[in-house]
Structure 1
Amino acid sequence: MIKVSDICVHNQDSTGSISATVDVNGKLKTLYFETNFSLKMTSEIDISNTLLIGLLPLSFEKQCDIYIEGSIDEKLRKEIVNELFPVMQQVYKISQLPQISFLKNESVNSVSSAGVATGLSCGVDSFATINQMRSELTHLTFFDAGSHGKGSYSQAALIRNHRYNNVKKAADELQLPLLTVNTNLSDFTSAKFQDNHAFLQISCAHLLSGLINTYYYSSGQNDDYLSKHPLDFIYLNNFMVHHLSSYRLKVIASLTKWGRIERTKMVSVMKTAHMHLDVCVDTETAMQNGLINCSKCHKCMRTQLTLQLLNEYEEFDHVFDSKVFESERDKFIAYLILTKREDVLNAELFDLVKELDGIEFKVYYLLMHLKWAKLKKKIKRMLVA
């Protein structure tokens, strides 16, 4: 059983915090949320919604029932039980569904604000969402819920601050207020952040109920995902988020009609993105070099190559190191060839390379080396086994 009790809310004029005791099969731990905005407009039900959504992945990992010592939104409960749980059951491959219970279920129809928000990570998806929804948006958000590393990770705070400073500058340029939430939710799960990121971040979004009533969640995939992949965590985190809506907060997955290349094209015309685009998965190296992006990791290479093929790369010379990119370009194209059958995004980009740029002989030479290195790793694993 996962039991959430002793829920405490503390408010200042411009900040807020929540703490709760989480009992996981007899082991007690404190869960917290810290905000840079007051929680005076956040109801008891909004807070219970936050706690429930954030702990749903843990209930499936542990195959435990979950109890929240509070009132829960009836719309959210029905969506979770009737629509979300059957998909989660398939993805987690479990036979028995967890049961969720509360002090009482309630329906709250009153909405005190018509605000609209989306997350700002300065990545391709978040900038593309802003590009599409700019006229609607009233707020931007930055949630520290595990994407920068777990709390025990010594570099997590440095990475968080590095990214936040860039995000804050971008939000100021976009002239939209930036709402932040910091939480230790990710410490309650052993899963990778990629496997439950939507739950962790949308959990934080429910604390904004009262300030906003619509939240656009930047989907990383487009609608044809299931035609190319099995039902998995990626599908769960990108296409089921609307079932995490309540009466006071509507959650919408954005960008599902567009692929990676189309999204990058949207971002390429945004002046704020020219100065603040952050796609890097090796932030430590980027920080060491005084850059936003390391320019060498697979996401940096994929984005740079796409921008180059779109004739927009020079606009991003402030955020990428072109010398690093050019030194790795041919090897990365060889990597696209090697992985195009397993990775749809790599396949799409490889097709664009063939169409617009052609493939040089050097790429096939590098491909032979990559295949040989892959074969050696496979032989080594077989010998060890």
Structure 2
Amino acid sequence: MLNSNDGQITWSVPVGGLTGAPDHLWFRLPEEHAPLVTDRADPAVIGLLIPAMHAAEPMHVSGPVTDELAHNLTHGYQHILETVIRGLRRVNVDATNTTPGGEPARGVGTGFSAGVDSYAVLAEHFFQPVPQDLRVTHLTFFNVGSHTSGERGRSVFRSHRDRLVPVAQEIGLPFIPVDSNLDDFYGFTNFQQTNGPRNLSAASLLQAGLGRYYLAGSVSFPNITVRRLHDTAFSEPISMPLLATRQFRPISHGDQYTRVEKTLMVADIPVARTSLNVCTNPLPDGGNCSHCPKCARTELTLEISNRLEEFRVVFDIAAYRKSRTSFMDWVVTQRSSVLAGEIREQARRAGFRLPPAPVALTRRGVTTGRRKALSLLRRARRRLSR
């Protein structure tokens, strides 16, 4: 069902059988983007599959569903979800009105948050020469749970949206913000655990105009796996092809690069130097705090490559300097972190001197004072690992 009101269009479908969930799933976006919106039920099938598997309830779909999608959700995709996410059980997908995928639209979309991953997609598929069929034509920004839930999340979504509009204008691409109530169906889990399927649900809504969609990956190929984990990103390069149809092809992008490599790709994009946003603890105006783990990780990567000064507009370098030592202590001591290992390797290659591992972490039989230091450092490591 598609309704129009106050310059916005709302795509919605009735939902039943999920205890405590809304009776409708809806997506809302500016009316100017109406030609991109599908008349198929694919967005609902992708978005509500995990809630159905959690409830162990079969899906009965009365609207038109792309036949390839209906088949692959049962033959492969649910097996991966069941392995990765605790508490899910495979369910029957009863789609009585299946239809072949049409010709793919020429549009190419990608999510845009002005973070490292999303800018890395543009570095390869917009700012550099690329075959026309692979060139990004539209930027999207979805509210599917990453901005916290309910009205507070909707307020954060609108604030971030408003900050991104002028950036998209500077880049020169259409910007499509899509609000939704999808998160209201996921009260049993968190966004990180289910972020891929949620984003692809919203992306498939636009398949009437976008035939190809790049979902920015955050895990490099050596770490791709299908096993019980806290984030579907680790398995998406394997599972995502099972959501592809003749008409709509989602693609995981960036898994071939390390986080360090992506950051340095982004450093070559002029607009990123004034708009990059990586913060987990943003300032009241939405800017980078410059000392949270993600800010510090990005800043140290840039510093090692002598690029940090170029990002003075988006980072408070004085604030970074105050937390720099403790973050470098985390980098040299966190041997189980892939991201810390990447920075250590970058520093080694660049001849950048990191501090030696603190004595408290390298000796046994430490004194009481050193035990206290060890405890504090371990606490800092856990905070930085989040």
Cα-to-partner distance string for 1:145-203 (whole Å, 9 max, x where unaligned): 11111115x3x344323322332122111100101210010111121111111111111
Q: Residue type matched to 2:223 in 1?
A: Y
Q: Residue type matched to 1:219 in 2?
A: G
Q: Residue type matched to 1:151 in 2?
A: G
Q: Is 2:111–2:118's contact at 8 Å kept on the other side of the alignment?
A: yes
Percentage of identical aligned residues: 23
Aligned-pair RMSD on alpha carbons? Answer: 2.5
Q: Is 1:218–1:254's contact at 8 Å kept on the other side of the alignment?
A: yes
Match of 1:212 in 2: 210
2:343 corresponds to 1:349: yes
Q: Distance in 2 between matches of 1:117 and 1:60?
A: 29
Q: Distance in 1 between matches of 2:142 and 2:20?
A: 27
TM-score, with structure 2 as normaliser: 0.85
Q: Distance in 2 between matches of 1:267 and 1:95?
A: 37
* Matched residue SS, 1:86: helix
Q: Residue type matched to 2:164 in 1?
A: V
2:72 corresponds to 1:64: no
Q: Residue type matched to 1:50 in 2?
A: P
Query: Unmatched 5+ residue regions in structure 1?
Result: 1-7, 378-385
Q: Is 2:141–2:177's contact at 8 Å kept on the other side of the alignment?
A: yes
Cα-to-partner distance string for 1:214-268 (whole Å, 9 max, x where unaligned): 11111111211147x9553332345422322233211111112111111011000
Q: Distance in 2 between matches of 1:117 and 1:375?
A: 41
Structure 1 residues 137 and 371 mapped into 2: Cα distance closer, same or farther (>3 Å)? same
Q: 1:47-126 counterparts in 2 under 5 A?
A: 48-93=41-86, 96-111=89-104, 113-126=105-118
Shift of 1:43: 3.7
Q: Is 1:220–1:238's contact at 8 Å kept on the other side of the alignment?
A: no
Q: Is 1:142–1:164's contact at 8 Å kept on the other side of the alignment?
A: yes
Match of 2:354 in 1: 359
Among 162, 175, 195, the alignment partner of 1:165 is 162
Match of 2:219 in 1: 221
Structure 1 residues 127 and 375 mapped into 2: Cα distance closer, same or farther (>3 Å)? closer
2:247 corresponds to 1:255: no
Q: Distance in 1 between matches of 2:6 and 2:88?
A: 47
2:243 corresponds to 1:244: yes
Q: Is 2:37–2:205's contact at 8 Å kept on the other side of the alignment?
A: yes
Count of aligned residue pairs for this structure pair: 358
Q: Residue type matched to 1:144 in 2?
A: N
Q: Distance in 2 between matches of 1:330 and 1:256?
A: 30
Q: Distance in 2 between matches of 1:167 and 1:56?
A: 30
2:125 corresponds to 1:133: yes
The structure where strand makes up a greater share of residues is 1
Among 320, 324, 340, the alignment partner of 2:315 is 320
Match of 2:269 in 1: 270
Query: Unmatched 5+ residue regions in structure 2?
Result: 362-369, 381-386
Q: Distance in 1 between matches of 2:378 and 2:176?
A: 48
* Matched residue SS, 2:96: strand
Shift of 1:40: 4.4
Q: Distance in 1 between matches of 2:51 and 2:69?
A: 18
Q: Residue type matched to 1:171 in 2?
A: A
* Matched residue SS, 2:77: helix
Q: Residue type matched to 1:308 in 2?
A: E
Q: Distance in 2 between matches of 1:121 and 1:51?
A: 24
Q: Distance in 1 between matches of 2:54 and 2:21?
A: 17
Q: Is 1:199–1:237's contact at 8 Å kept on the other side of the alignment?
A: no
Match of 2:185 in 1: 188
Q: Residue type matched to 2:117 in 1?
A: D
* Matched residue SS, 2:218: coil
Shift of 1:329: 0.7
Cα-to-partner distance string for 1:1-52 (whole Å, 9 max, x where unaligned): xxxxxxx21147964212233223455613221012443453432xx10001
Q: Is 2:54–2:87's contact at 8 Å kept on the other side of the alignment?
A: no
Q: Distance in 2 between matches of 1:91 and 1:216?
A: 22
Q: Is 1:278–1:292's contact at 8 Å kept on the other side of the alignment?
A: yes
Q: 1:292-331 counterparts in 2 under 5 A?
A: 292-331=287-326
Structure 1 residues 239 and 12 mapped into 2: Cα distance closer, same or farther (>3 Å)? farther
Cα-to-partner distance string for 1:80-115 (whole Å, 9 max, x where unaligned): 22231221121135684111112321113234x311
TM-score, with structure 1 as normaliser: 0.85
Q: Is 2:332–2:355's contact at 8 Å kept on the other side of the alignment?
A: no
Q: Distance in 2 between matches of 1:276 and 1:76?
A: 37
